[in-house]
Copies of this chain bind each other. A is one copy, B any other.
Amino acid sequence: MNLAEDHIRDAGYAGFSFRDLAAEAGIKSASVHHHFATKSAMTAAVAKRYADRFFLSVAPKPGESASEAIAAYREAFRSSFSRDGRMCLFGVLGAEAGGLAPEVASVILAFFQRCIEDLSQRIGGTDAQARAFQVMATLEGGMILARIYKDVAAFDQAVAALA
């Protein structure tokens, strides 16, 4: 799952095969199929694990401000990219969603819905939902720019005016 996650964040759903993963893990592809019946099922499982980890990392702190909530999301994205130069998994999968199984698409939608809902509540005020959409769009788009420029400075400039 770690290897699959890296490959997806780098090159998308088509960016890995069971043989790739098996070779890198030192086993055979049939052994991967023992754990995940299909590639879609494995991708959905990897995505769910990624989402769980993400929402733990952005968990609200008592008495935080709207700016602090936005900063928590920003830092989660930023540290992810600066650690290994790879994108947000859901940004990649979201961009190529037209070619993914419903099984995977539903996990992607659930992730963004939960982000928007969580951010909206923590931002508060009249335009909370629109600001939540703006934050998520800027973070995901900023990741694309950073990966294309191969420079986290592109991300930093993109998100500088956010919070």
Contact = CB atoms under 8 A, between A and B. Distances in A.
B158 A136 contact: yes
B13 A161 contact: no
A44 interface: no
Interface size bracket, A side? 35 or more
B154 A133 contact: yes
Contact of A148 (B86, B112, B141, B142): B112
Nearest to A140: B141
A159 interface: yes
Given A14-B99, A96-B96, 16 more contacts: A11-B96, A11-B99, A15-B99, A91-B95, A91-B141, A92-B96, A95-B144, A105-B148, A108-B148, A109-B148, A112-B145, A130-B161, A131-B161, A133-B158, A137-B144, A140-B145
Interface of A: 9-15, 86-87, 91-92, 94-100, 105, 108-109, 112, 127, 129-131, 133-134, 136-142, 144-145, 147-149, 154-155, 157-161
